[in-house]
A and B are shown apart, each in its own frame.
Chain A
Amino acid sequence: MKTKNYVPKDSAGKLAKGFIRNPLTAVLGVFLLIIGYLALEVMPREENPQMVVSGSTVIIAMPGATAKEIEQVIVKPLERKLKEVKGVEHIFGSSMDNFGVVNVAFFIGEEKENSNLKIYDKIMQNKDLFPKTAMNPTILPLDIDIDIPIVSVAFFATDKNMAPTTLFDYAKEIQHHINGLDNVAVTDLKGGHKHQYNILVDLHKLSGYNLSMGQIAQAVQSVAYNVPDVKNRTKENEIIMVGVKNAIEDEKDIANIIVAQYMGAAIYLKDIATVEDSYDKQNFKSALVSVKDENGKFSPLQEQVTLTVSKLQGTNAVIIADEVKEELLHYKEEMAKHGISYVITRNDGERANEAVNELVFHLVLSIVIIAILLTVVLGWRESLIVTFTVPAILAITLFVAYLTGQTINRITLFAFLLSLGLLVDAAIIVIENIHRHYHDVDAADRDPDELMIEATDEIGPPTNIATLAIILTMVPMAFVGGMMGQFMKPIPANVPVSLIASLFVAYIFTPYLAVRLLKKPEHHNGGEK
């Protein structure tokens, strides 16, 4: 009753038939695994998925204006103008004494460069709107990739007598080296103090000598004057350079400036003020650190300089963080000699790598558990076949994700874990049907290839429809808006790919492997018919 040459009706059977005796099938399998592995290694790793968030901050200063004045003449007109820009979701204005700030947040998903340009354009077109006394607007575009550092390092002095500026100078030195590494976008220093000569005038002495602050300022300004070398010629027209030495070389020069003459006696700056070669005392910002030593005790809070490093968009946080770490190790000994130590206070690369590795481990563990289950229910050969299809499907998905410019992050891997439960299904259904047909009594005298193709073909249509149904459930998820939509984008982007891949792999490789691995059972009661 069964024809010798089974003609497949569904694409499932056609695929099975086309590949079951094709020598390239094995090559294709190996090739898939290789590209998947390469994609896993090459794809940038991050902890959180990339989000397209655009926005700008506009700051306009008008010294001397009160908050109310700023609101009326700067913030309100600016808000109105920015409201004209398309794609803007929210505008936040804040008016303070002396300056106004307007924050523009675009809808999530609005392209960054375009949005920045729109804001810049709008403000430049309306520059005449602002009062004459207002300063030029400062526009700070938001750039998630560059604004959020992936590594931060705190440098601190182990030598208690170190001048506060030495640490800063050293950190600046290291910053320059780290900025030179590949794919490093922005490096920045937080905390620390810059060099500065401070003239600290004693108010009592000032009034005692009957002097004003203005006089001191003038006196200092008149000597602190730098001129380039003077070029002159001799009578033979030879050039002679005459360098004019700067009057101020160190703090002593400043201290010896004559501020005024009183009854013929000179009043030096040092008479009324202390002059120190020190740091920027007016800068109230500072950073402190406390680290745990080997004995588990915390050091008291001490001054530190934090170096932050951010990466270019789409680059691998893991690699950059490791490079920064290595570069720091390079200078570690030299720093120790200078009495400087450091501690890495943020390493997103390491965090991303840990998250990714943990999830990859979970994936492997899940595959093993499923393999054990199948071994118990269907037998080890069948189990082996299904287990092979999983890496093949994941490899295809990874490669497609790589081609579409995605990164490996927590959510991508969750998409994989979610699809893992779904993508073995196609293979299980095919292998179960093959198993059932194989163990059927009439299977004994039939060609295995034939059986495979028929078994695959039989469950083709419902499996296709069912898989299509699952894909359809994922599609609307791609249209979820807002931050959350962006955040879970990897799920609708990857699950459908893996499901489609699971169909192809199930139809191509399952019969191919089954025909080679499965043994027909001996039907002792074969003649029962």
Chain B
Amino acid sequence: MFKKFEELIHSGLQSKMKKNMILIGSLVAFLLSMMMFPAEIVLAKMLPGKNNATFNIYVDLPEGSSIQQTQRVSECVVSYIQKEKEVLDIEVFLGMGSPLDFAGLIKGSHFKMTENLAEVVINLTKTHDRDEPSYMMVQRIRPTIQKNCEAIIPKTHIKFVEPPSGPPTLAAVVAEIYGNSDKGIRHLAEHVEKIFKNTEGLVDIDIMQDAIYDKYEIKANSIKIARSGLNLKQVNDILYLAFEGMGIAVKNSVEYNDQIPIFLTLSDETKKFTNKDKTAVRNKLSSLRLMNQRGMMVPVTEVVDIVSVKSNPMIMSKNLHKMTNVLAETDMVSQVYPLIDAKSQIIEQLANEYDITTVGLFNLKFKEKSSGETYLLLWDGEMEVTLDTFVDLGGAFIAALILIFLLLVIYYKSFVLSGIVLLGSFLSIIGVVVGHWVMDLFTADTFFLTATSLIGFIALIGISSRNSLLLIDFTKSLIQDKGMHKTDAIAYASATRAKPIFLTAAAIILASTLLASDAVFGGLGVALIFGTIAAVIASLMIVPVLLHNSDLDKHFGFVERKSVDIDNPDHFV
């Protein structure tokens, strides 16, 4: 079998046309595979989703909502979850975050402490006993739940949070909007939010800013307070005591671990305002009285003014610059492509209001036409991590190439030979790209080129350079020690080395098949399987051709000796 192969190579090496055909063919294959990226045939993503046994649902009501309203929305969410067969148990945490996890740590779940927030934890059956992966389930139930439960209280956001398969991020797409004016940032953020909502592939869109709601401010009138023989502290305390309540004393206890507080407040029935009107507030306050220094009772309404105002939203900053985030998750697609879509939509739709320029790769700079204020939109979240990771891995890849090149130069003392080995290894990228395309054709959901694919590719460089190395080394010993001719030596070496090359390649492919089925490391597996196939072809077809084209005789100090039998070079005729 290897004999035939030897003849094939031998004849191939002797025809100039065939040699050129091989070289041109591999160049075309390389260019075609590279074209798959801009053509979006092979899609890139940092890490694909993984099948989890648990996921969370964050219920965010607008600021100023009560815990009862939050509970109503959460109960709605739970009622849909309870219809799912694969759910084992459901926990609801009202007014606080669920027990902290990896995702929650970055998303700030441990800082939740207001009445308008809740988290729902859903535990599913074990991943092995379940046909539907968790990410498919989330994709399926998300529209129903959002449609029916977000409507209960307007401006509610229900977000689905799955444990990340890699490092956690704030969200898949984060648009940080910087600027100097609070109002301007808010306005621009709302524009961006609207565009995100119309971008395909983006879900769970939210602005990280407090909603502004109506509230009443009770302004103490200091003149009236002084005249009534009261003091300001007394007024404030009583108001707080009446409506919020306060622990006024404690009782020690032997039974329990804590002291038992004695808590004073108005009873629920009499505390509640009849409605949201200002008069209702006034009426309620008028029945609340204070005792002055002279022992006379003064109604609170006598000494305060009730003013209706807007709430003060939270002011956020990052690295000392005022900022608001617009967040979005992706619905089982890579965040890269929706982000690019959203970016071009922003440029298109907001052109009337702002002069927009692109800064760097994706970031945008806005100049408001009416006021001249400038704003900056920086992408963060998974996009930032993806870019960083791909850039770093790309750097690692280049560094690996240089290191291998230097190593080979030291070993062979020849730039040409080292170059051939590297070129042969580099061609395995064709296999990696095509492999991802093939896998994408055969899998139900998108098969992404991920960070793990890149790791696989970097490892491949080493693996395929080993193939070429063994080949060249053997050729070298044939030429140097046995005095064989170049063509014969290359053909014989290729045929002899083909067996261990095939064997090691088969070992790598077989060891990687199990990797390929994993959600996260599938990319690595596929890269190794298809890359190795490409590497074998490269080292057995292209490397011999390249070797033959180079001046091997000079490199290996070829000395013509006795003629050698091609079939059996160890035996002199």
Binding site for B on A (CB under 8 A): 48, 51, 57, 66-68, 70-71, 75-76, 79-80, 83, 90-97, 101, 142, 144, 147-149, 152, 154, 169, 172, 190-191, 194-204, 206-207, 210-217, 220-221, 224, 226, 246, 248, 254, 273-274, 280-282, 284-292, 296, 298, 301, 304, 306, 308, 343, 345-346, 351, 354, 362, 365-366, 369-370, 373-374, 377-378, 410, 414, 417-418, 420-422, 424-425, 428-429, 432-433, 436, 440, 459, 461-463, 465-477, 479-488, 491, 495
Q: Which 5 A-B pairs have the closest CB atoms?
A: A470-B462, A483-B167, A466-B466, A421-B508, A224-B249
Contact between chains at A280 and B92 (CB < 8 Å): no
Contacts of B111 in A (CB 8 A): 57, 101
Contact between chains at A373 and B90 (CB < 8 Å): no
Q: How far is the CB of B170 from chain A (nearest CB, A)?
A: 10
- Name A217's contact: one of B90, B123, B241, B524 (CB within 8 Å): B241
With A92-B318, A101-B111, A199-B265 known as contacts, the answer to whether A429 contacts B248 (CB < 8 A) is: no
0/1 string, B43-87, CB within 8 A of A gives 1: 000100000011000000000000100000011001000100101
Contact between chains at B99 and A147 (CB < 8 Å): no
Q: Is B244 an interface residue (CB 8 A)?
A: yes
Q: Which of B340-348, B362-370, B391-399 contacts A (4 or more CB under 8 A)?
A: B391-399
With A148-B105, A469-B465, A476-B395 known as contacts, the answer to whether A93 contacts B317 (CB < 8 A) is: yes
With A417-B514, A469-B407 known as contacts, the answer to whether A202 contacts B270 (CB < 8 A) is: yes
Contacts of B288 in A (CB 8 A): 203, 206-207, 212-213
Contact between chains at A366 and B89 (CB < 8 Å): no
Q: How far is the CB of B324 from chain A (nearest CB, A)?
A: 11
Q: Is B511 an interface residue (CB 8 A)?
A: yes
Q: Which of B23-31, B289-297, B436-444 contacts A (4 or more CB under 8 A)?
A: B289-297
Tally the A-B contacts, defined by beta carbons under 8 Å.
411
0/1 string, B505-523, CB within 8 A of A gives 1: 0111111111100101100
0/1 string, B14-34, CB within 8 A of A gives 1: 000000000000000000000
* 8 more CB-based (< 8 A) A-B contacts, given A197-B263, A217-B246, A301-B90: A149-B99, A211-B297, A343-B89, A377-B499, A422-B462, A422-B508, A425-B463, A486-B167
- Name A190's contact: one of B96, B252, B289 (CB within 8 Å): B96
Residues of B103-131 at the interface with A, using a CB-CB cut-off of 8 Å, are 105, 110-111, 113, 115, 121, 123, 126
Residues of B482-513 at the interface with A, using a CB-CB cut-off of 8 Å, are 496, 499-500, 503-504, 506-513
Contact between chains at B249 and A421 (CB < 8 Å): no
- Name B102's contact: one of A148, A203, A226, A428 (CB within 8 Å): A148
Q: Which of B132-140, B191-199, B308-316 contacts A (4 or more CB under 8 A)?
A: B308-316
Q: How far is the CB of A40 from chain B (nearest CB, A)?
A: 19
Residues of B431-482 at the interface with A, using a CB-CB cut-off of 8 Å, are 451, 455-456, 458-459, 461-463, 465-466, 469-470, 473-474
Contacts of B126 in A (CB 8 A): 354
Residues of B241-282 at the interface with A, using a CB-CB cut-off of 8 Å, are 241-242, 244-253, 256-258, 260-271
- Name A292's contact: one of B87, B238, B455 (CB within 8 Å): B87
Q: How far is the CA of A293 from the CA of B98 in the complex (A)?
A: 23
Q: How far is the CB of A434 from chain B (nearest CB, A)?
A: 11
Contact between chains at A289 and B89 (CB < 8 Å): yes
* Chain A residue at minimal CB-CB distance from B380: A90
Contact between chains at A286 and B94 (CB < 8 Å): yes
Q: How far is the CA of A440 from the CA of B155 in the complex (A)?
A: 81
Contact between chains at B267 and A201 (CB < 8 Å): yes
- Name A203's contact: one of B75, B287, B320 (CB within 8 Å): B287
With A172-B257, A195-B256, A282-B245 known as contacts, the answer to whether A373 contacts B507 (CB < 8 A) is: yes
Q: Considering residues A199, A221, A466, which has the most beta carbons from chain B within 10 angstroms of its beta carbon?
A: A466
Contacts of A196 in B (CB 8 A): 247, 260-263
Q: How far is the CA of A480 from the CA of B391 in the complex (A)?
A: 9
Q: How far is the CA of A154 from the CA of B393 in the complex (A)?
A: 43
With A420-B511, A469-B469, A470-B466 known as contacts, the answer to whether A432 contacts B500 (CB < 8 A) is: yes
Q: How far is the CA of A306 from the CA of B119 in the complex (A)?
A: 13
Q: How far is the CB of A200 from chain B (nearest CB, A)?
A: 4
0/1 string, B385-408, CB within 8 A of A gives 1: 100110011011101100110011
Q: Is B556 an interface residue (CB 8 A)?
A: no
Q: Considering residues A92, A248, A480, which has the most beta carbons from chain B within 10 angstroms of its beta carbon?
A: A480
Contacts of B470 in A (CB 8 A): 429, 459, 462-463, 466
Q: How far is the CB of B490 from chain A (nearest CB, A)?
A: 16
Q: How far is the CB of B558 from chain A (nearest CB, A)?
A: 19
With A212-B290, A476-B396 known as contacts, the answer to whether A467 contacts B100 (CB < 8 A) is: no
Q: Is B101 an interface residue (CB 8 A)?
A: yes
With A220-B264, A482-B388 known as contacts, the answer to whether A94 contacts B91 (CB < 8 A) is: no
Q: Is B93 an interface residue (CB 8 A)?
A: yes
Contacts of B99 in A (CB 8 A): 149, 152, 190, 306, 308, 345-346
Contact between chains at B319 and A91 (CB < 8 Å): yes
Q: How far is the CB of A44 from chain B (nearest CB, A)?
A: 17
Contact between chains at A421 and B511 (CB < 8 Å): yes
Contacts of B419 in A (CB 8 A): none
* Chain A residue at minimal CB-CB distance from B390: A484
* Chain B residue at minimal CB-CB distance from A97: B312
Contact between chains at B466 and A469 (CB < 8 Å): yes
Contact between chains at A473 and B499 (CB < 8 Å): no
Contact between chains at A214 and B238 (CB < 8 Å): yes
Q: How far is the CB of B441 from chain A (nearest CB, A)?
A: 24
* Chain B residue at minimal CB-CB distance from A461: B473
With A91-B320, A470-B463 known as contacts, the answer to whether A68 contacts B315 (CB < 8 A) is: yes
With A291-B89, A432-B499, A472-B400 known as contacts, the answer to whether A224 contacts B251 (CB < 8 A) is: yes
Contact between chains at B87 and A214 (CB < 8 Å): no
Q: Considering residues B89, B98, B318, which has the most beta carbons from chain A within 10 angstroms of its beta carbon?
A: B89
Contacts of A76 in B (CB 8 A): 320
Q: How far is the CA of A256 from the CA of B339 in the complex (A)?
A: 68
Q: How far is the CB of A45 from chain B (nearest CB, A)?
A: 17
With A212-B297, A301-B78 known as contacts, the answer to whether A466 contacts B465 (CB < 8 A) is: yes
Contacts of A421 in B (CB 8 A): 463, 507-512, 528
Q: How far is the CA of A432 from the CA of B501 in the complex (A)?
A: 10
Contact between chains at B91 and A289 (CB < 8 Å): yes
Contacts of A306 in B (CB 8 A): 91, 93, 99
Contacts of A424 in B (CB 8 A): 504, 507, 511
Contacts of B507 in A (CB 8 A): 370, 373, 421, 424-425, 428
Q: How far is the CA of A459 from the CA of B497 in the complex (A)?
A: 11
Contact between chains at B312 and A67 (CB < 8 Å): yes
Contact between chains at B92 and A282 (CB < 8 Å): no
Q: How far is the CA of A437 from the CA of B71 in the complex (A)?
A: 78
- Name A95's contact: one of B74, B315, B518 (CB within 8 Å): B315
Q: Is B302 an interface residue (CB 8 A)?
A: no
With A301-B78, A373-B506, A418-B459 known as contacts, the answer to whether A285 contacts B96 (CB < 8 A) is: yes
Contacts of A377 in B (CB 8 A): 499, 503
- Name A287's contact: one of B94, B238, B385, B506 (CB within 8 Å): B94
Contacts of B456 in A (CB 8 A): 418
Q: Is B357 an interface residue (CB 8 A)?
A: no
- Name A482's contact: one of B93, B389, B455, B512 (CB within 8 Å): B389
Q: How far is the CA of A283 from the CA of B78 in the complex (A)?
A: 23
Contact between chains at B400 and A195 (CB < 8 Å): no
Q: How far is the CA of A101 from the CA of B397 in the complex (A)?
A: 41
Q: Is B234 an interface residue (CB 8 A)?
A: yes
- Name B264's contact: one of A92, A94, A201 (CB within 8 Å): A201
Q: How far is the CA of A28 from the CA of B163 in the complex (A)?
A: 43
Contact between chains at A484 and B92 (CB < 8 Å): no
Contact between chains at A280 and B287 (CB < 8 Å): no
Contact between chains at B388 and A90 (CB < 8 Å): no
Q: Considering residues B85, B263, B393, which has the most beta carbons from chain A within 10 angstroms of its beta carbon?
A: B263
Q: Is B179 an interface residue (CB 8 A)?
A: no
Q: How far is the CA of A315 from the CA of B94 in the complex (A)?
A: 32
Q: Is B152 an interface residue (CB 8 A)?
A: no
* Chain A residue at minimal CB-CB distance from B89: A291
Contacts of A365 in B (CB 8 A): 514
